[in-house]
A and B are shown apart, each in its own frame.
Chain A
């Protein structure tokens, strides 16, 4: 029988910082420009060019360190990492080895306990019933009680952060299929990165994903990066080893690269765990190596030959002077830290009286939280805003396979839509239709409703006329209803709504029909 194995995982996460300029020169960091249009002698490694450090990089890196409970190295330096590769024009990368800016921190992850299930919601916008029903108890309990309730039921675990250092990104290579050459674009060369090195504290793919999600959330809250895995502004290299349960020594680890989504990370971890266990079971040794994950084939292969021995011959970077973060400067960075998720969550429960589950989801994404706060401020209907975010927004995000950070609609238009619904100018079906337009094109709801004639017909004369006509046209349903078949009214309401082209209030239609019958 196969022995029981434990997977030991540590992560190296690279995050592109959201600065306007590169780390050592004032070239733009803008994504997607024509090749080499954002380059200068510094970021193309011209002889004699001198790097000058971007102050914002230090502030972002220190802020991420503070938010992850690290000790900030107040006197730190840069080092030179030497290697030859065409994406690296200087033949060295400026990084930090000996004195990284942050050390010894942690983030706390929450692993889904059995009580962390999503409550069943009615997939329509008018699910205030659910909201109101589930909100009561939790709202009244207030913020200080959160830790004693639902959150505590989830399992928590601290994942250690070994260090965070600053470094520069490399250029991009594009390979020509037709000729024996590659094209180099140095627009990304010199874009500031932080590398966050975890301790080998994770034991499963679930923990890895929870750690990455938490890191991403913290960094997005800080505004230090948009952390998009698919665009490469957040990249994770995963170090994996296995050992027999109970063993004290770590097994030999491999490093997995080319992981561009959470799903790919999870699949790669599972596959690598199995590969290593198979080797051990067969009496073979795991070789310490870097492997590249092919997510299409769900298979990894070893990278780099002996020729490229990993010997980076680091030495202190002579072109840059040390950085000294004074106590005053550090305090300033601390004071400028934003309100993080836990504080926001407590405040939402107190200020907005929305259910805990909704508040957790909304505060889990900076973008959702920003939209929620701005729209609530405008329309003063936080529960409605929360509903639109939790139901329709989530549905469309899933449908479009988008991340909440990709949302582009303005809070003003969502607030406007809520007002139109509240004032009875449009009904909920039309509202959903308009919301889709807001979601995709950020249309002004008032203008859109006006232009497309979507206002509810408030003229009772027209409605009564229509109802009379429907009753005449559907004698069978009328008879059914009179015989006690209550359901028949639904059909009549539907027919009336259809005849009104959706621009009537269904409740009102139903009420009039009942009176008539």
Chain B
């Protein structure tokens, strides 16, 4: 029995954010999965982490830089080789106009 409940509204919202259209069946399954995930996170939250710096990286590294030097040649053909469609050197996508 899960502690957390995912409402239909949340499911709808998450679907919009992820740009996914799910069938009713898939929605129910996704809800169950997410509820389990949230329960697991609750479990993790039981651990006292007061005064512990949030970790953003697994390795204790910092300052990995590049010098500001152009090294990449024109590799457009390779870049476009995976595109489902291309025209005049551009990637072709369904018409997307900011409105």
Residues of A within 8 A of B (CB): 19-21, 25-28, 34-41, 44, 46, 52-56, 58, 75, 77, 84-86, 173-176, 179-186, 292, 303-304, 307, 309, 311, 313, 316-318, 320-324
Contact = CB atoms under 8 A, between A and B. Distances in A.
Contacts of A52: 64-66
B79 interface: yes
| Secondary structure class of chain B's binding surface, majority of residues | loop
B88 A35 contact: yes
Interface string B55-71: 01101011111111111
Interface stretch (B1-9, B12-20, B28-36, B40-48): B12-20
Interface residues of B, number: 40
A192 B17 CA distance: 26
B57 A183 contact: no
Contact of A182 (B70, B75, B94): B94
Contact of B76 (A21, A36, A173): A36
A44 B63 CA distance: 24
Contact of B72 (A26, A75, A313): A26
Contacts of A46: 82
B87 to A, nearest CB: 6
B80 interface: yes
B52 interface: no
Given A20-B68, A28-B72, A36-B79, A182 B93 contact: yes
15 contacts: A35-B88, A36-B76, A36-B80, A40-B75, A46-B82, A54-B67, A176-B95, A180-B94, A182-B96, A184-B91, A185-B89, A309-B17, A318-B57, A321-B57, A322-B57
Residue among B17, B62, B90, B92 having the largest count of chain A Cβ atoms under 10 Å = B90
Contacts of B66: 21, 26, 52-55
B74 interface: yes
B89 A181 contact: no
Residue among A46, A181, A303 having the largest count of chain B Cβ atoms under 10 Å = A181
A184 B71 CA distance: 23
A75 B63 CA distance: 10
Nearest to A77: B56
A37 B74 contact: yes
Contacts of A27: 70, 72
A126 B81 CA distance: 63
Given A182-B96, A183-B92, A324-B63, 6 more contacts: A35-B90, A183-B91, A309-B16, A313-B17, A316-B57, A321-B64
Contacts of B19: 84
A181 B93 contact: yes
A91 to B, nearest CB: 9
A318 B55 CA distance: 10
A56 B70 CA distance: 13
A20 B69 contact: yes
Given A21-B68, A35-B88, A52-B65, A181 B94 contact: yes
B44 to A, nearest CB: 15
Contacts of A34: 76, 89
B61 A321 contact: yes
A381 B71 CA distance: 45
B68 A323 contact: no
B99 interface: yes
Contacts of A38: 72, 74
Nearest to B97: A175
Given A183-B88, A316-B54, A321 B62 contact: yes
B26 interface: no
B95 A180 contact: yes
Contact of A86 (B54, B80, B93): B93
B50 interface: no
B65 A53 contact: yes
Residue among B19, B64, B82 having the largest count of chain A Cβ atoms under 10 Å = B64
B25 interface: no
Residue among B64, B70, B91 having the largest count of chain A Cβ atoms under 10 Å = B91
A174 B90 CA distance: 9
